[in-house]
A and B are shown apart, each in its own frame.
Chain A
Amino acid sequence: ETGVTQTPRHLVMGMTNKKSLKCEQHLGHNAMYWYKQSAKKPLELMFVYSLEERVENNSVPSRFSPECPNSSHLFLHLHTLQPEDSALYLCASSPGRPGQGNNEQFFGPGTRLTVL
C-alpha cells in the first residue's frame, strides 16, 4: 500500500463514546499532521508531529488526544465529543526537511466523523 491511509473512513459516535482515528503513511516522511475540516470553514491545523515529537498544538480541546508511536503512525483519540466536532478529519505527512519551503504535504482520504 502506498501514500497516506486513514481508518475508519466513516465514524458515527455518541457523545459518551471513546474512539480512535488511525493514520499510516508509507512514504518515509518525518512529519505528520492532523487537520479538521468543518463545513464552510477553512481547514484547521490541529496537531503536528515531527520525528514522533509533538511540535504544535493549535489550542485543541483536551477531548482530542493525539498519539504518534513512530514516524509512520499517527492516532487521534476521541472522548466525550460534542456534536460540533462532527467534521472531516484529515491526516497528512511531509518529508519534514528543515528550512525547505516545498515540504509539500500528502493527505489521506480523511475520516468523516459524525457525533450524535
Chain B
Amino acid sequence: AQKITQTQPGMFVQEKEAVTLDCTYDTSDPSYGLFWYKQPSSGEMIFLIYQGSYDQQNATEGRYSLNFQKARKSANLVISASQLGDSAMYFCAMRGVKPSGGGADGLTFGKGTHLIIQP
C-alpha cells in the first residue's frame, strides 16, 4: 500500500519569498514516481512536476523544484519567488511503476496544503 503525508494544512507566505511544501511518502514498490499538482479555486488539477525514484537529479520546472531525499522518503516542493497567482491547494501524489503491462495506475494523493500568497 502507498501513503502520502502532507503535514501543512495551510501556509501564508509573503509575495516573492520562496516556499517549501512538505511531502513524505511510504511505499513497498521498488520503483515509483512522485508528482505535485496545483488546484486553484476553479477545481482543475494542474500538473507541476514529476520525480522518478531512480532519477539521479532533482526535478526542476521553471520556478518549481522538487527536493527529493529518497532515504528520508521525502519529496518537498520548492516554489521560488512566489507570486499571488500561486495561491491554491497543492497536492503531492505517487504511483508505483510496474515494469510490465498496465501503465494505467491510479495516483495516491495526500490531503494537500492550502498555500496563500500575501502581497
Contact = CB atoms under 8 A, between A and B. Distances in A.
A55 B104 contact: yes
- For the residues of B in contact with A, the DSSP-based class is loop
B52 A98 contact: no
Contact of B44 (A31, A43, A105, A108): A108
Nearest to B59: A102
A66 B110 CA distance: 25
Interface residues of A, number: 36
B105 A99 contact: no
A106 to B, nearest CB: 7
Nearest to B112: A42
Contacts, number: 94
A90 interface: yes
A2 to B, nearest CB: 13
Contacts of B32: 101
Interface of A: 30-31, 33, 35, 40-43, 45, 48-50, 55-56, 58, 88, 90, 92, 94-110, 112
B22 to A, nearest CB: 15
Q: Size range of the interface on B?
A: 20 to 34
- For the residues of A in contact with B, the DSSP-based class is loop
A102 B106 contact: no
Contacts of A98: 98, 100-103
Q: Which 8 A-B pairs rank lowest in CB-CB distance, beginning with the nearest?
A: A31-B104, A101-B33, A50-B104, A45-B106, A107-B45, A98-B103, A101-B97, A43-B109
A23 to B, nearest CB: 13
B50 A104 contact: yes
B44 A110 contact: yes
18 contacts: A31-B104, A35-B106, A42-B109, A42-B111, A43-B91, A43-B109, A45-B106, A56-B106, A94-B103, A94-B104, A98-B98, A98-B103, A99-B99, A103-B33, A103-B105, A104-B50, A107-B45, A109-B42
B62 interface: no
